[in-house]
Amino acid sequence: MAAPEASSAAVPTLMTNNTLRNAFGGVLSFFILLLIGVLAFSIRLFSVIKYESVIHEFDPYFNYRVTQFLTKNGIYEFWNWFDDRTWYPLGRVIGGTVYPGLTLTAGTIWWLLNSLNIPLSVETVCVFTAPIFSAFASWATYLLTKEVKGAGAGLTAAVLLAMVPSYISRSVAGSYDNEAVAIFALIFTFYLYIKTLNTGSLFYATLNSIAYFYMVCSWGGYTFIINLIPMHVLLCIVTGRYSSRLYIAYAPLVVLGTLLAALVPVVGFNAVMTSEHFASFLVFIIIHVVALVYYIKGILSPKMFKVAVTLVISAGLAVCCAVIAVLIALVASSPTKGWSGRSLSLLDPTYASKYIPIIASVSEHQPPTWPSYFMDINVLAFLVPAGIIACFLPLSDASSFVVLYIATSVYFSGVMVRLMLVLAPAACITSGIALSQAFDVFTRSIKFQLPGLSSNTEVDAGETSSATKEAQNDAVKTEKAEETSKDRPSRKSKKKEREHVEKPSTKTKAEKKRLLALPLEASVISLLLLVFLGAFYVVHCVWAAAEAYSAPSIVLTSHSHDGLHVFDDFREAYAWLRHNTDVDDKVASWWDYGYQTTAMANRTVIVDNNTWNNTHIATVGTAMSSPEKAAWEIFHSLDVKYILVVFGGLVGYPSDDINKFLWMVRIGGGVFPHIKEPDYLRDGQYRIDSQATPTMLNCLMYKLSYYRFVETDGKGFDRVRRTEIGKKYFKLTHFEEVFTTHHWMVRIYKLKPQKNRIRGKTKKSKSKTSSTSSSKRSERGLFRHGNVFGGKEAQNQFCISSILGLVPCATTGPPKRQI
């Protein structure tokens, strides 16, 4: 590291030496960043290597289908796209109801590659979008952390983020979902905000608004930004850190950002009309009042100012009160107080569990326990407090933002496990700062105390130059701290000034640093332990990426004593539908499989994962919970020709339709009161064995799942519920089995053609079932709810991967009150 030639210690040589070192450092940083990008990309390829290049899960299939449409028909068609393949017979306006960021991004990448004559398929582009954006996200983390605590901390934070498990869980190759690009957008928006705050440049302020626009396009989580930044601004004002830079960083963001956000169809006027955005407007007013105060303070003499201040404060207060009153009136006039249920459950964590059971039931919305933190941010959980403290020493505008970010996100993650994703970047940034400072201290201690080197003049030169660098860094920090009250002159002149001021003091600084060293052997041990901690993090992250988060859930595998088993039943079934049914046939299934059916089988579905219409879902739920004949009538009235059920009883796949069935009953019963949950429960217990209720044994879902099941092993032993089924031998009267996949995981039935003689009856009971009573409906339809047994949880995926091993999974009934 030290340059031996520069031993003469003359000032000009030192200067060139210094620039050389800086240049070398710059190049090194560049290559390190490049490697970090490669790391972030490649650690996410486990899913492609272990399985294949496929789109994962459910929602990504919808995004994939939209992207296909976009690349085929162009952007204007995309905005106006009315999708008639879903929600039959209603259809869905796609252009106005999706966050288009992800689709447009992947579409643009595809178009770019194609115009460069690189003929990649749309699917390939979609699969690799998330890993690519993870690399971008780690670079954005570098930039953000560099603005806060320098390049060393930036690099550390970037490498931590490149492999943080929480982020990996949402961005493995194939996980083509909004979060994949949104986390990058989130970090980049924060970086530009901090950059504007540090430089006071309108250029960055404009970029910041555009980055915010991209974030709004990409993910509903943008409300986190538009609340966090105002909070930080308010914090700065309250703690007396107001500066014109703060004004430049904030005011354009609110004005431009809100205007841009309103351009996104799915947000539209929500950008000015919902409570989630009101905080930003309130702070916008406050910052103007404060700016006015500072302006008047600047132009008036102190005595005059005292007179003016009373005037301004009273006027400002009056305006504030008026605006607050208007806001309160606006908020109070709406029934939910202007907040969506999900936001409310963040502010009052017990809200959802009390009033919206359907939100509380979703596995993603559960509050995490401590192992979740260890699983998702691993050893970073240990380092974060050190990072928080480092941010306070010294406290600058930028570091106070990081503290606010970590504090809010860690609180939110405590309420909902899915918000761990927002915590992950903050944890990486603070841990990066902590690690980098710890390495700094320990290596310095070792360097100054290595035996036989302390008297060497050659090292002195190196020391001095490195001390210069550190002194400069220190100066930057102190400068930032001092700068709060006065306006900032141009950056270049400042730099020159700094160099003049600091040269004489470098020698004494180096002496001081020598005194600040820690004991040698303890430093060595600490350093080693920190390296081990980092190594453990790497091992954990690689394991999490490879084992826990890479399963695509469309192809399942399991290891057993006789080798690897692959379950590709879903695609088998969708391919069968695609090749053996008419293109306009309607396929009914529970809504979980809607997106996949439209995307892979290209057939019209009744309900899908968008869940915007509760009545429609309830109709399907009712049909599944009804006896065969009533179900046939409902499905026939919906023009359905095929029914698809997912059945895990043969191979032990726990998230099948029988396990989700109680939700069908509940949702169906919410709209059609003749479906009652107690009818399907024996003494409050959900069971399918011989103790099951007759209603349960006669409902369509039971029959379609267990039809001919006894022929497999002669007993009808269900390996998920771990019991023999209740009714083993029965015939279907209104449906016929047309296809069952290799492992029986997907079974497709066809509605038998209508018989003439039951026609009169059909009409009668149809009118009965279609009479909806929507009095008891809650906000159910607005919220996504998963199955009872967990959605995208690592735990669930372990269950799946232990198929055939018959490991007990979360297959108990829904939570019942213990008596």
**Interface with another protein (CB under 8 A), residue from 9, 75, 386, 446:** 386
- In the three-class reduction of DSSP (H, G, I as helix; E, B as strand; rest coil), residue 92 is classed as strand
CB of 687 to another protein, least distance (A): 17
User: Could you tell me the smallest distance in angstroms from the CB atom of residue 816 to another protein?
Assistant: 8
Pick the binder of another protein from 1, 116, 329, 393 (CB under 8 A).
Answer: 393
> Residue 11 or 393: which CB sits closer to another protein?
393
Residue 814 interacting with another protein (CB under 8 A): no
Q: Which C-beta is closer to another protein: that of 249 or that of 377? A: 377
Q: Which residues pair with 19 in a beta bridge?
A: none
818 binds another protein (CB under 8 A): yes
98, 379, 634, 699: which one contacts another protein (CB under 8 A)? 379
519 binds another protein (CB under 8 A): yes
Nearer to another protein, 280 or 526 (CB): 526
> Is residue 375 close enough to count as binding another protein by CB under 8 A?
yes
> Does 410 participate in binding another protein (rule CB under 8 A)?
yes
Contacts of 485 (CB under 8 A, 6+ apart): 243
The distance from CA 544 to its chain's CA centroid, rounded to whole angstroms, is 17
Least CB distance from residue 768 to another protein, whole Å?
21
* Other Cβ atoms closer than 10 A to 266: 14
Give the bridge partners for 642, in sequence order: 587, 750
Under rule CB under 8 A, residue 273 binds another protein: no
- The answer to whether 529 contacts another protein (rule: CB under 8 A) is yes
Residue in the block written with tokens 């039951």 = 758
Stretch of residues binding another protein (CB under 8 A), selected from 6-14, 461-469, 525-533, 641-649: 525-533
| Cβ–Cβ under 8 Å, residues 145 and 158 | yes
Does 516 bind another protein (CB under 8 A)? Our answer is yes
Cβ distance to another protein smaller for residue 610 or 655: 655
Q: Does 50 bind another protein (CB under 8 A)?
A: no
User: Considering the complex, what minimum distance in angstroms separates the CB of residue 395 from another protein?
Assistant: 5
Peptide bond between residue 808 and the one before it cis (omega within 30 degrees of 0):
no
Q: Is the dihedral of CA 96, 102, 104, 106 positive or negative?
A: negative
SS3 for 524? helix
Spatial distance between the Cα atoms of 470 and 196, rounded to a whole number of angstroms: 24
Nearest CA-CA partner of 218 in 242, 185, 243? 185
Which position among 155, 185, 253, 390 is part of the footprint of another protein (CB under 8 A)?
390
Query: Least separation, in Å, of the C-beta of 478 and another protein?
Result: 15
Q: How many residues bind another protein (CB under 8 A)?
A: 76
Taking the complex as a whole, the smallest distance from the CB of residue 383 to another protein amounts, in Å, to 6
* Closer residue to another protein in complex, CB, 269/370: 370
Looking at 101, 152, 368, 786, which residue binds another protein (CB under 8 A)?
Answer: 368
Distance in Å, CB of 219 to another protein, minimum = 22
392 binds another protein (CB under 8 A): yes
Q: Which of 548, 606, 623, 662 binds another protein (CB under 8 A)?
A: 548
Is 407 among the residues that bind another protein (CB under 8 A)? yes
Burial 391-410 (b: 16+ CB within 10 A, else e): beeeebbbbbbbbbbbebbb
372 part of the interface to another protein, by CB under 8 A: yes
Cα–Cα distances in Å, from 23 out to 26, 28, 368, 499? 5, 9, 46, 17
Q: Which of residues 285-324 bind another protein (CB under 8 A)?
A: 293, 309, 313-314, 317
Gap between the Cα atoms of 702 and 698, Å rounded: 7
Whether the Cβ atoms of residue 384 and residue 434 lie closer than 8 Å to each other: yes
Kindly state whether residue 802 participates in binding another protein, applying the rule CB under 8 A: no
Q: Which is nearer to another protein, 54 or 375 (CB)?
A: 375
How many whole angstroms separate alpha carbon 247 and alpha carbon 94?
38
**Segment contacting another protein (CB under 8 A): 257-265, 333-341, 520-528, 620-628?**
520-528
Q: What 3 state SS string does 584-652 have? A: CCEEECCHHHHHHHHHHHCCEECCCCCCCCHHHHHHHHHHHHCEHHHHHHHHHHCCEEEEEEECCCCCC
Task: State the minimum distance, in angstroms, from the CB of residue 115 to another protein.
Answer: 39
Please pick, from the candidates 134, 437, 619, 655, the single residue that binds another protein as defined by CB under 8 A: 437
3-state DSSP assignment of residue 337: coil
Which CB sits closer to another protein, 28 or 328?
328
Q: Which stretch binds another protein (CB under 8 A): 412-420, 487-495, 634-642, 706-714?
A: 412-420
In the complex, least distance from residue 301 CB atom to another protein, rounded to whole angstroms: 17
Rounded least distance, CB 277 to another protein, Å? 24
Q: How far apart are CA 6 and CA 640, in angstroms?
A: 83
Considering the complex, state which of residue 151 and residue 386 has its C-beta at the smaller distance from another protein. 386
Check residue 254 for interaction with another protein (CB under 8 A). Answer: no
Where in 331-350 is the site for another protein (CB under 8 A)? 349-350
Q: How far apart are CA 765 and CA 620, in angstroms?
A: 16
Nearest approach, Cβ of residue 692 and another protein (Å) = 19
What CA–CA distances, in Å, run from 588 to 66, 90, 741?
Answer: 21, 14, 17
Q: What share of the chain is helix, strand, coil (3-state, %, to 5)?
A: 65, 5, 30
Q: Does 525 bind another protein (CB under 8 A)?
A: yes
Q: Which of 367, 534, 627, 814 binds another protein (CB under 8 A)?
A: 367
Helix (H, G, I), strand (E, B) or coil at 177: coil
Candidate list 240, 298, 563, 760; residue touching another protein; CB under 8 A: 240
Site for another protein in 650-689 (CB under 8 A): 677-678, 684
Which residues, 438 to 467, sit near another protein by CB under 8 A?
438, 440-441
Min CB(293)–another protein separation in Å: 7
The contacts of residue 118 (CB under 8 Å, 6+ apart) are none
Minimum Å distance from CB 718 to another protein?
A: 23
Q: Which of 231, 381, 476, 710 binds another protein (CB under 8 A)?
A: 381
Please give the full DSSP string across 198-217, using - where no structure is assigned: HH--HHHHHHHHHHHHHHHH
Q: How far is the CB of 423 from another protein (least distance, A)?
A: 9
Q: What are phi and psi of 565, to 5 degrees?
A: -110, 135
Minimum CB separation of residue 173 from another protein in Å reads 17
State which residue, 160 or 217, has the beta carbon closest to another protein: 160
Rounded distance, CA 340 to CA 793, Å? 24
Those residues whose C-beta lies under 8 Å from the C-beta of residue 513, and which sit 6 or more positions away, are 444, 448, 463, 467, 470
- Residue of 383, 599, 618, 800 that binds another protein (CB under 8 A): 383
Give min distance, CB of 222 to another protein, in A: 22
- 415 counts as binding another protein under rule CB under 8 A: yes
Q: Which stretch binds another protein (CB under 8 A): 4-12, 15-23, 210-218, 519-527?
A: 519-527
Our finding on whether 560 is near another protein (CB under 8 A) is no
Instruction: Give the side-chain half-sphere CA count within 13 A for 277.
Output: 20
Residue 717: which H helix or E strand, with range?
A: strand 717-718
Stretch that binds another protein, among 22-30, 73-81, 522-530, 641-649 (CB under 8 A): 522-530
Q: What angle do CA 37, 41, 44 make, to 5 degrees?
A: 145
d(C-alpha 712, C-alpha 730), whole Å: 15
Among 554, 569, 609, residue whose Cα is nearest residue 57: 554
Residue numbers 569-628 binding another protein by CB under 8 A:
none
3-state secondary structure of 350: helix
